[in-house]
């Protein structure tokens, strides 16, 4: 089995399933691992929950998203990480062969309409609720969050995950 970002942090069955899912979706498994590392605070916990939004799990499924996938955030939280990957695959399947870059993988989670758009694409602008919710991603503090800025924190997780301590 090849080495991937964060591979030492997760068990063999989880790593194998991420590699298999990524192959079927046409994306880099290290990119998917970096996005999940970011979304879970590097815990890869299927039950981690955002207290503000209710988003839960490996890619922070929102309650409405979970319902659209035929489940609930409570059911997702009760699953093993390996089992929850089936819902990650189901969620990402509409983006099959469109996730060529790290930022595109992350956009499927944060702002799906930005998949395939340029890195300079503005996602959120001040003043708006969505900007306020994502203002921490505004790297240069100019009142706009671009696709590239939003992906910068996930890029940092990719770099960390590819380090000798975590790559495996």
Q: What is the pTM of this model?
A: 0.95
Q: What is the pLDDT of residues 54-71, one digit of tens each?
A: 999 999 999 999 999 999
Q: What is the pLDDT of residues 139-161, one digit of tens each?
A: 999 999 999 999 999 999 999 99
Q: d(Cα 31, Cα 8) in Å, to the nearest integer?
A: 15
**Cβ neighbours for 20, distance < 8 A, ≥ 6 positions apart:** none
CATH of the domain at 142: 1.10.530.10
Cβ 56 vs Cβ 48: under 8 Å: yes
Q: Phi and psi for 138 in degrees, rounded to 5?
A: -80, 85
Crossing angle of helices 102-110/147-161, nearest 10°? Answer: 120
Asked if residue 77 belongs to a domain, the reply is yes
Asked if residue 83 belongs to a domain, the reply is yes
| Structural domain span for residue 138 | 12-161
Domains in the chain: how many in total? Answer: 1
Asked if residue 7 belongs to a domain, the reply is no
Q: Phi and psi for 163 in degrees, rounded to 5?
A: -70, 160
Asked if residue 167 belongs to a domain, the reply is no
What are the pLDDT tens digits along the chain (168 aa)?
899 999 999 999 999 999 999 999 999 999 999 999 999 999 999 999 998 889 999 999 999 999 999 999 999 999 999 999 999 999 999 999 999 999 999 999 999 999 999 999 999 999 999 999 899 999 999 999 999 999 999 999 999 999 999 999
Q: d(Cα 40, Cα 147) in Å, to the nearest integer?
A: 20
Asked if residue 168 belongs to a domain, the reply is no
């Amino acid at each position: 089995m090849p080495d991937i970002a964060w591979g030492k942090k997760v068990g063999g069955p989880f790593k194998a399933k991420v590699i298999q899912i990524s192959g079927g979706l046409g994306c880099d498994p290290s990119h998917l691992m970096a996005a999940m590392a970011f979304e879970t605070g590097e815990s890869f916990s299927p039950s981690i929950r955002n207290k503000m939004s209710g988003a839960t799990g490996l890619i922070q499924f929102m309650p409405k998203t979970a319902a659209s996938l035929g489940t609930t955030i409570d059911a997702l939280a009760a699953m093993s990480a390996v089992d929850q990957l089936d819902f990650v695959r189901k969620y990402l399947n509409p983006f099959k062969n469109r996730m060529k870059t790290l930022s595109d993988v992350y956009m499927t989670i944060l702002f799906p309409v930005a998949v395939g758009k340029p890195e300079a694409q503005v996602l959120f602008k001040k003043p708006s609720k969505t900007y306020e919710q994502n203002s921490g991603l505004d790297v240069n503090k100019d009142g706009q969050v671009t696709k590239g800025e939003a992906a910068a924190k996930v890029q940092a997780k990719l770099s960390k995950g590819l380090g000798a301590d975590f790559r495996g």
